Amino acid sequence: MSGFSTARQKMVDGQVRTSDVTDRRILDAMLTVPREAFVPASRQALAYLDLDLDVSEGGTKRFLIKPQLTGKLLQAADIGDGDNVLVVGCATGYLAALSARLARQVTATECDSALAAKAKDAFAALGLANVTCKAASCAEGDVSAGPYDVIVLNGAAEVMPEALLGQLKEGGRLVGVSAESEPPRAMIVTHTHGEFGHRALFDAAAPVLPGLERTAAFVF
């Protein structure tokens, strides 16, 4: 076993299973997809630590969210093998690659075009043919590949992402961290009969996605 595969096993056993992630498909995906492939070479030693990992190289800071939160959000999303999935703010694409192991088709968006290119390269290197990455604002999503059964945010939103909700199929769901109020919580928003139902799942913190920040109030 290489050092990375040992670290991957420890991540799943020590961070993910212990956080009540029991879905075998998610655990298998996390044991299979090499997280280090989505991390700059200078930081690969940090790839399996329990932290939000900065993968940006200059420009806006962009992160892979913690492994345990990644697993819990995917479990809440309940992605089926026939689902069309959107991953928002994918950074270098780790969460999108995991989703591609679970779904029929995955579209990922990333506001930093250099990171979107790295995500595409990583998907190609891993032979993941059912996932694409587009450079696009986190708030916009991608109407062209929608509507979606599942939308997953690779981070937190301080505002309700209305444009993304509009891209959910009837019966679809959006999962991510809501930082609209304190404490931040993982949320699921379901689209049923034209209505959106919001449910808090568990306390969770994650870096806020660019474009989904709270606008600073104007002060005289």
Q: What is the mean pLDDT of residues 12-25?
A: 96
Model confidence band, residue 216 (pLDDT cutoffs 50, 70, 90) = low
DSSP structure class, residue 118:
H
208: β partners: 156
What's the token pair of residue 17?
Answer: 């299973």
Model confidence band, residue 218 (pLDDT cutoffs 50, 70, 90) = low
Q: Is 79 helix (H, G, I), strand (E, B) or coil?
A: coil
Quickly tell me which residue has 């568990």 as its tokens: 202
Q: Regarding beta strands 131-135 and 148-157, do their DSSP bridges make them parallel or antiparallel, or are they unpaired? A: unpaired
Give percent above pLDDT 70 in the chain.
97
Cis link prior to 207 (omega < 30° from 0)? no
pLDDT at residue 220, rounded to an integer: 53
| Long-range pairs for 11-14: beta carbons < 8 A, 24 or more residues apart | 11/35, 11/48, 11/67, 12/67
Q: How far apart are CA 115 and CA 53, in angstroms?
A: 14
Q: How far apart are CA 40 and CA 37, in angstroms?
A: 8
Cis link prior to 183 (omega < 30° from 0)? yes
Structure pTM?
0.95
For residue 40, what are the CA distances in angstroms to 37, 63, 67? Answer: 8, 11, 17
Q: How far apart are CA 174 and CA 165, in angstroms?
A: 7
